[in-house]
Structure 1
């Protein structure tokens, strides 16, 4: 028990960083995902091509490789030198924007064409149609899929250790190497499990609230 209290402060510090990456990624990638999904429906071929190429690259390459490329590759190419935390958040936002864009694209396509036609007859602009007719339905439809990505994000944050960030996973790894015991990893697993359970309950609550107003 004494050992647990010794390693707990370092694990909690790592947990703060993990939650920071998680929250900033969601705040950045969710709205960007909506924007990119609408860009995929643009009448301009070049814009559609760029967004589709971006999504293909982000979804077709490992997130771990993307983190390494942004942090190490950009500096080696003399493009930009990003601090570790900013590089991690930037990469996560890019990656999860692509996944959320695909989710929202599917939701937008699920809205019946008749509703778009009806809004046009009523004199709604494309923005008004999206804002008042399509998006409220899309959000309800895609919320289960968004919830799955949120849970994946909780676990994916452990990948930031590869660039030396002191997240929860790295804190546990340091303690394991120093003390030659698997107890820190067990605690790390408990923390991740608690986080996934908490966010699962939150997403289910949001789904129920949205269904209540259906």
Structure 2
């Protein structure tokens, strides 16, 4: 630098070069990564080749290939199965939105200490315990055949509605427990600090607790929504013509099960990208499952 304060040389950062040991460590890491990639690739190819060999050399392979993997039959039934999948997607979206809203409301009620909300807390506790303890398939059967028997004039009795209602009832209970774990993960000092600034308890919960709670449990909530997309196919047992029901109709008469394979592939084309996006987003957010009791299947109490 000159007397006028003008820099005449490069900065210290531009002059920095890694030491010989640092370069050796970097080269070693690159070698290890290349070796690990090579080993993983070779192992995957060997396992895949072994599976293909076992399957294709089985005595009944030709018959199974015609019954499950017929390209002509797959192309023939693809439009009907895809149309059924559109119903699954609509049920998934509606059930996901309703489940998130109602589940968050139940979690807020469960964690509230207002005496006036005691009856609602009891209701939320019973609701969560019941619908987390009963299998989804049983709820589908009870709701799908029980509610129409009441002959309520204002209640839709379509299979898609009743199936979606059953899914909402079950998944709302799981989402409520996940949100409750997120709310309880926020330290009480956060509420005390908000109250000291003049916020009411309701404002503290809405502006301080809930934003942190939702951020803390965003990863398991996203995983539950992916699982909900898969279970939307269970509405077929009530007669809704979704992807699975359309595949079942297509197999009637010829006993060719390729439509089921087509339905499975369509579900995978949606669920696998969603799962990978959730995993990538979770890793980016630094999620490592710090919340105790939170799992992909709900909250263990």
Provide the TM-score with structure 2 as the length reference.
0.65
After TM superposition, the structure 1 stretch with the greater mean CA deviation from structure 2, 119-128 or 23-32, is 119-128
Q: Does 1:50 align with 2:123?
A: yes
Q: Does 1:66 align with 2:132?
A: no
C-alpha distance in structure 1 between counterparts of 2:258 and 2:215, whole Å: 41
Counterparts of 1:173-188 in structure 2, within 5 Å, are: 173-188=248-263
For residues 3-44 of structure 1, give each alpha carbon's deviation from its aligned partner in whole angstroms, at most 9, with x where no partner exists. 222101111111101101101101111011111100112323
Where do 5+ consecutive residues of structure 1 fail to align?
Answer: none
Where do 5+ consecutive residues of structure 2 fail to align?
Answer: 1-70, 287-301
Aligned to 2:111, what secondary structure does the other structure show?
Answer: coil
Aligned to 2:185: 110
**Alpha carbons 1:140, 1:210 under 8 Å: kept:** no
C-alpha distance in structure 2 between counterparts of 1:202 and 1:191, whole Å: 17
1:131 aligns with one of 206, 210, 214: 206
Instruction: State the number of aligned residues.
Output: 212
C-alpha distance in structure 1 between counterparts of 2:160 and 2:233, whole Å: 13
Counterparts of 1:1-214 in structure 2, within 5 Å, are: 1-42=71-112, 43=114, 44-79=117-152, 80=155, 82-204=157-279, 207=282
**Alpha carbons 2:164, 2:235 under 8 Å: kept:** no
CA drift of 1:208 comes to 6.2
CA drift of 1:209 comes to 7.0
Higher helix residue share: 1
Aligned to 1:144, what secondary structure does the other structure show?
Answer: helix
C-alpha distance in structure 2 between counterparts of 1:98 and 1:123, whole Å: 34
C-alpha distance in structure 1 between counterparts of 2:232 and 2:93, whole Å: 11
RMSD, matched Cα: 2.0
CA drift of 1:201 comes to 3.6
**Alpha carbons 1:71, 1:81 under 8 Å: kept:** no
C-alpha distance in structure 2 between counterparts of 1:32 and 1:55, whole Å: 12
